[in-house]
Structure 1
């Protein structure tokens, strides 16, 4: 897929990504749904906080994000739930160019095809002000990310932080405000069987380590298992590392491109990488959350299996 330039983003840019109440419940509960959802990952249409910060209520926040007409996913009266985080690596984002059909998106060098209220112009469906919009590919939640809720009508204290993310092996830590909204928290659940390591990989003193972005731009939180199996972590600045890369396993299935998330007993869990709702419908893929589609397939049906490695920082 051609990646349009994600102009206006730096590692320090604060991103706001709307999520449905159902997704908020799954994140806050550290809920793992095998084949469908992991609370350590995120994706979707988002905007810079600086472009939406003038909103003074949940209703206005929905409008800024172009969601006023999407009452199925973001019903009036419920305010708005969002993920907030620093961009860290802008290569994970692309301007939201696309179309209502595969052919229309292809004319813009994109595969992004999503239902209304998606415009495909790089902006949210919001009048009279145009708000820049980005598509974030399926990626790992960075250390320091937060979940916020904006009350519907706005009032004193209408913005509430609900949880913070210390890392994938710790899970989301909920604040008391989450309980008042009827969003219970729970301990982090183990990853699905056969999960394939993916995301940032830091090579430090000759050894590679799985990592998360953050807590600060230009840093990664690196994980290592102790002798008793406990996961230990430490932040490392990129400039101190031998190399920092971003890795994922890709494969083709029935002519479309997927990321392979897990393999167990000869069955692969696949996530569509194109962000193309028309393609997902053609393949009969089940929904795995808003603007996400996954399926499971025998590993012997996969072709063009490739580990994609993208360079983030080198000496």
Structure 2
């Protein structure tokens, strides 16, 4: 099975150290970028400019390595045709060809739609001299990052879910055809985890379906996916990820660039319109 690799921006890394697990953006197969040994070569391989302000002052670069899962959606990183269609409109050095041009040849790039970090993913740090340093691993939605990081709870509107005994749970596929189910509240068979959730492991054949949850909304004329929501004591606040795939438009709107092609903002839920939710079923029993 292929291993995919994603360069992790400092902004995303800081959120992950708080326990967050949101994943989105451009990725490459590890086998296609294995020649990249130093931090500068890794950035080049993944299509980042050498002077990208996202990494200013960092003497290293972090990468996430993960296996694809049924609920991950990979989209070829190709540009929009004549300014329209479903492709991406990016900033240099994005080429729109679906490849990153490097001194070692072309590297195929994909876009991973907003989701949760897959179970078993590993976070590594690549130094300027090529030394690799293991930082942490994302065990699964029930246990989070290991060794233990922040205590942020998982999103209830983004990621992988499974239906068991007619009830939908946060879920992750494990080894040996098992699935871990997690809930914010106690449930029959569930045990408390160090993350503050309740979890239970079942055989995959007991699962009724596996699906990705997608909640979208419009703010100031732009379309977003809701990555996370919480109550700040006065109402519901949402972290929104721009899904319009038009970087210049996102810049013009003053959105926060947290990664290549990834723009986010925070808004009160009452300020967004046209909220739509859907379950993208990937497998069924």
Would you say same fold, with TM above 0.5?
yes
Which residue in 1 is equivalent to 2:138? 165
- Alpha-carbon shift at residue 161 of structure 1 (Å): 1.6
What does 1:1-315 align with in structure 2 at a 5 Å threshold? 12-27=1-16, 29-30=17-18, 39-67=20-48, 69-74=50-55, 78-89=59-70, 92-98=73-79, 104-106=82-84, 109-154=85-130, 158-174=131-147, 186-190=149-153, 196-212=156-172, 214-216=173-175, 220-224=179-183, 225-226=185-186, 231-236=197-202, 238-260=204-226, 261-262=228-229, 264=231, 265=235, 267-315=237-285
- Alpha-carbon shift at residue 51 of structure 1 (Å): 0.7
- SS of the residue corresponding to residue 100 of structure 2 reads coil
Change (3 A) 1:78 1:266: closer
Change (3 A) 1:120 1:314: same
TM-score, scaled relative to structure 1: 0.75
- Alpha-carbon shift at residue 78 of structure 1 (Å): 2.1
- Alpha-carbon shift at residue 23 of structure 1 (Å): 3.1
Hey, what's the Cα distance between the residues in 1 that align with 2:110 and 2:257? 21
Hey, what's the Cα distance between the residues in 2 that align with 1:59 and 1:113? 24
- Alpha-carbon shift at residue 96 of structure 1 (Å): 0.4
The answer to whether the Cα contact below 8 Å between 2:39 and 2:126 also exists between their aligned partners in 1 is yes
TM-score, scaled relative to structure 2: 0.82
The answer to whether the Cα contact below 8 Å between 2:65 and 2:122 also exists between their aligned partners in 1 is yes
Change (3 A) 1:141 1:18: same
Deviations 1:99-139 (A, max 9, x none): 5xxx7452xx3242221221111111313410100111221
Hey, what's the Cα distance between the residues in 2 that align with 1:217 and 1:111? 37
The answer to whether the Cα contact below 8 Å between 1:203 and 1:241 also exists between their aligned partners in 2 is yes
In the comparison of the two structures, how many residue pairs are matched? 274
The answer to whether the Cα contact below 8 Å between 2:119 and 2:138 also exists between their aligned partners in 1 is yes
Contiguous gaps of at least 5 residues in structure 1: 1-11, 32-38, 175-184
Hey, what's the Cα distance between the residues in 2 that align with 1:275 and 1:218? 36
Computed over aligned residues only, the root mean square deviation of the Cα atoms, in angstroms, reads 2.9
Which residue in 2 is equivalent to 1:34? none
Hey, what's the Cα distance between the residues in 1 that align with 2:266 and 2:47? 32
- Alpha-carbon shift at residue 72 of structure 1 (Å): 2.4
Contiguous gaps of at least 5 residues in structure 2: none
The answer to whether the Cα contact below 8 Å between 1:88 and 1:218 also exists between their aligned partners in 2 is no
Hey, what's the Cα distance between the residues in 1 that align with 2:281 and 2:71? 12
The answer to whether the Cα contact below 8 Å between 1:171 and 1:187 also exists between their aligned partners in 2 is no
The structure where strand makes up a greater share of residues is 2
